[in-house]
């Protein structure tokens, strides 16, 4: 009997892992001119208004994926399309290695990336970067009812009460919450206020491919409560007047890289709906299949599929707020993905005494950047359970949405500010801004300081460099101010493929584009404290 049982447990992993996960990237899209001329076919008016306010132009990434390509792949034997991304012009497929490799026969396929990186060596198409993740650690909660005034620490640590006193409570801002499930949000008294005021605008379960939002898991419930719950003298969220979309992207039953693809798909949906802030209390580095694991060296902000998606989300004018992770006490304590992305606001956890919680993951990213970005209460924090009771819980899963809610309040106060300006303003308000480190990042934000100094800080934004000439036939130059430290520039073609990368340390740098074909190219410039994207035309 023992032998049979042993055989059973040995065979299960082999059966499970016989199916491979991979990303299939396409070469082109269809009807580009039509969609560019009819943007409401791709994005809501609110999404277009957000782009207009921030001077963000429509580009190739906004064009929908070619559904004919998707349909062709879906008909291949032993292939299942699990998710799709217009931003990446890619689909996530599951099937046998042989079946996935057979997709190379199609002219519209640009490249194939297996989640198991060892399989990419056997493919004829060389991948630009592999995507492997693991999902969030669920938090343990103490089911004890709290003192009625304990919630105040969560807001007062950030001086958020000063924004609330001036009636900046997130009104007019939309936050998308990407999580594992929202059990009880449709019935718990703590969410009665946002239900009655129609502040839950909708949502979707990308895992089940249905509208089952209020089931499966309470993690999203706990997360949402830090922003949106309201029970007088018991629990008040940081953005009780904001509106919310709820998206399920996390499969609580398994650890598979398809969850990152679902996250990107949901984020694209959020963009199209006009969302302002993405909150994700999810982090990925390990999977059920160890071959899919994301190593520390790959947590560089540009390798993981979800991290690349988070960067694109920021480039569309949204703020992306991410939990740092709860691995700080483990042998591998570093942040996961998408916390490693360049432009996201990565949030770590502290105690009420403002000391770092031991479990809070640390930086730097593998390419040496400061992470986390900021800190907020995450030890003995107060959340609502599925019945509406305030209970204690721990985790960076909750420090991130506390920050997301306060960002909505601050952005309400400065409605014409760009996402980059709001991000920079919050970092500059933090208590370690002058001397950041990889345990605390830039420290604990002071939202009262941010509110009072916003106009002065915003005047300084984006005045520090210019890119010229544009159009150009040979050289493309960038000028930085004298106090500039360092940055990285990337150049992408119209298909979104990276064709150039260079570290910049000089205040004046020039790059040759003479050998490039005529056309439109996209650049991204990133330093510790700012990010800039734009187009350059090669004549």
Least confident of 132-141, 191-200, 293-302, 426-435: 132-141
Task: Please give the distance of CA 302 from its chain centroid, rounded to a whole number.
Answer: 12
Q: How confident is the model at residue 122 (pLDDT cuts 50, 70, 90)?
A: very low
> Under a CB-based contact definition with an 8 Å cutoff, are residues 356 and 439 in contact?
yes
Domain ranges of the chain: 2-29+65-122, 141-459, 466-538
Distance CA 96, CA 331 (A): 34
How large is the average pLDDT for residues 225-229?
Answer: 97
Q: How far is CA 493 from the centre of its chain?
A: 23
* 216 labelled catalytic: no
Please identify which of the residues 21, 62, 116, 179 carries the catalytic annotation: 179
- Separation between Cα atoms, residue 520 and residue 491, nearest integer Å: 11
Taking the C-alpha atoms of residue 322 and residue 324, their distance in angstroms, rounded to an integer, is 6
CB 116 within 8 A of CB 257: no
Under the phi-then-psi rule, with left for phi > 0, alpha for psi from -120 to 50, and beta for the rest, what region is 184?
Answer: left
DSSP classification of residue 142: E
Q: Domain 466-538 is of which CATH architecture?
A: Sandwich (2.60)
Whether 351 is catalytic: no
Has residue 486 got a pLDDT over 80?
Answer: no
Q: Which residues contact 215 (CB under 8 A, 6 or more apart)?
A: 181, 183
User: Residues 397, 399, 404, 531: which is the catalytic one?
Assistant: 397
Whether CATH 3.40.50.200 fits 141-459: yes
- Residue 109 pLDDT exceeds 70: yes
- What would the pLDDT profile of 350-401 be if each residue is shown by its tens digit? 999 999 999 999 999 999 999 999 999 999 999 999 999 999 999 999 999 9
Residue 150, judged by CB atoms within 10 A of its CB (0-12, 13-18, 19+), counts as middle
Give the pLDDT confidence of 288-328 residue by residue, as tens digits: 999 999 999 999 999 999 999 999 999 999 999 999 999 99
| Per-residue model confidence as pLDDT tens digits over 183-200 | 999 999 999 999 999 999
* Residue 375: closest CA among 406, 399, 340, 391: 399
Residue 528: band (very low, low, confident or very high) from pLDDT cuts 50, 70, 90: low
179 is an active site residue: yes
DSSP 203-263: EEETTTTBS--SSS-SHHHHHHHHHH-EETTTEE-TTTTSEEEEEE---TT---THHHHHH
> What are the strands of the beta sheet with 381-384, ordered from one edge?
141-142, 390-393, 381-384
Q: Which helix (H) or strand (E) holds 51?
A: helix 45-53
Cβ neighbours for 85, distance < 8 A, ≥ 6 positions apart: 65, 91, 92, 261, 264, 265, 268, 309
Higher pLDDT, 462 or 326: 326
Q: Is the peptide bond before 471 cis (omega within 30 degrees of 0)?
A: yes
Angle of the 419-429 helix axis to the 396-413 helix axis, nearest 10:
110
Q: Residue 476 has what pLDDT?
A: 76
Write out 498-537 in H/E/C secondary structure. EEEEEEECCCEEEEECCCCCCEEEEEEEECCCCEEEEEEE
Q: Which CATH architecture has domain 2-29+65-122?
A: 2-Layer Sandwich (3.30)
- Least trusted range by pLDDT, from 27-31, 155-159, 184-188, 515-519: 515-519
End-to-end, the C-alpha distance of the chain in Å comes to 75
Q: Is 286 exposed, middle or buried (0-12, 13-18, 19+ CB in 10 A)?
A: middle
Residues with Cβ < 8 Å from 298, sequence gap 6 or more? 130, 132, 304, 366
Tell me, what DSSP letter sits at residue 79?
A: E
| pLDDT above 70 as % of the chain | 86
Distance CA 486, CA 504 (A): 5
Looking at 92, 219, 285, 340, which residue is catalytic? 219
**Dihedral-angle region of residue 496 (phi above 0 means left; psi in -120 to 50 means alpha; beta otherwise):** left
What's the Cα-to-Cα distance from 413 to each of 56, 162, 168, 174, 453, rounded to whole Å?
21, 12, 6, 14, 12
Tell me the C-alpha distance between 408 and 115, whole Å.
35
């Amino acid at each position: 009997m023992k032998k049979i049982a042993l055989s059973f447990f040995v065979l299960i992993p082999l059966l499970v892992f016989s199916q491979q996960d991979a990303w299939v990237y396409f070469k082109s899209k269809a009807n580009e001119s039509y969609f560019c001329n009819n943007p409401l076919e791709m994005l809501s008016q609110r999404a277009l208004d957000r782009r207009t306010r921030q001077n963000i132009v429509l580009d190739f990434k906004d064009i929908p994926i070619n559904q004919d390509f998707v349909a062709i792949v879906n008909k291949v034997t032993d292939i299942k399309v699990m998710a799709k991304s217009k931003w990446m012009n890619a689909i996530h497929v599951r099937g046998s290695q042989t079946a996935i490799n057979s997709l190379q026969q199609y002219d519209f396929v640009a490249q194939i990336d297996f989640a198991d990186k060892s399989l990419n060596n056997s493919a004829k198409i060389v991948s630009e970067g592999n995507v492997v993740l693991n999902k969030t650690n669920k938090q343990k909660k103490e089911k004890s009812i709290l003192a009625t005034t304990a919630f105040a620490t969560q807001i007062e640590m950030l001086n958020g009460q000063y924004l609330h006193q001036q009636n900046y409570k997130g009104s007019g801002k939309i936050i998308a919450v990407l999580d594992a499930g929202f059990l009880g949000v449709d019935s718990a008294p703590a969410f009665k206020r946002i239900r009655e005021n129609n502040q839950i605008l909708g949502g979707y379960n990308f895992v089940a491919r249905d509208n089952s939002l209020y089931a499966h898991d309470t993690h999203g419930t706990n997360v949402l409560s830090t922003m949106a719950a309201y029970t007088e003298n018991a629990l008040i969220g940081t953005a009780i007047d904001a509106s919310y979309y709820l998206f399920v992207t996390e499969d609580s039953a398994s650890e598979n890289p398809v969850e990152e693809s679902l996250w990107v798909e949901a984020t694209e949906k959020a963009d199209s709906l006009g969302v302002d802030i993405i909150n994700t209390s999810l982090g990925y580095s390990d999977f059920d299949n160890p071959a899919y694991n994301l190593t520390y060296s790959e947590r560089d902000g540009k390798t993981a599929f979800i991290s690349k998606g988070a960067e694109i989300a920021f480039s569309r004018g949204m703020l992306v707020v991410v939990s740092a992770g709860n691995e700080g006490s483990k042998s591998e304590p570093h942040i996961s993905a998408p916390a490693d992305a360049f432009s996201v606001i990565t949030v770590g956890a502290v105690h009420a005494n403002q000391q770092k919680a031991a479990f809070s993951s640390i930086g730097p990213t593998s390419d040496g950047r400061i992470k986390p970005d900021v800190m907020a209460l995450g030890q003995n924090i107060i959340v609502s359970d599925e019945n509406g009771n305030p209970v204690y819980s721990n985790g960076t899963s909750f420090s991130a949405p506390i920050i997301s809610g306060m960002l909505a309040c601050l952005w309400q106060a400065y409605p014409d500010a760009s996402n980059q300006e709001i991000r920079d303003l919050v970092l500059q308000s933090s208590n370690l801004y002058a001397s950041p480190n990889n345990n605390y990042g830039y420290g604990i934000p002071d939202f009262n300081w941010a509110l009072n100094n916003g106009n002065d800080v915003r005047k300084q934004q984006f005045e520090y460099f210019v890119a010229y000439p544009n159009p150009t036939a040979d050289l493309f130059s960038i000028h930085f101010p004298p106090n500039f430290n360092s940055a990285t520039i990337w150049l992408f073609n119209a298909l979104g493929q990276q064709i150039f990368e260079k570290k910049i340390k000089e205040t004046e740098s020039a790059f040759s584009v003479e050998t490039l074909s005529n056309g439109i190219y996209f650049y991204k410039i990133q330093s510790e404290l700012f990010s800039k994207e734009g187009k350059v035309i090669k004549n």
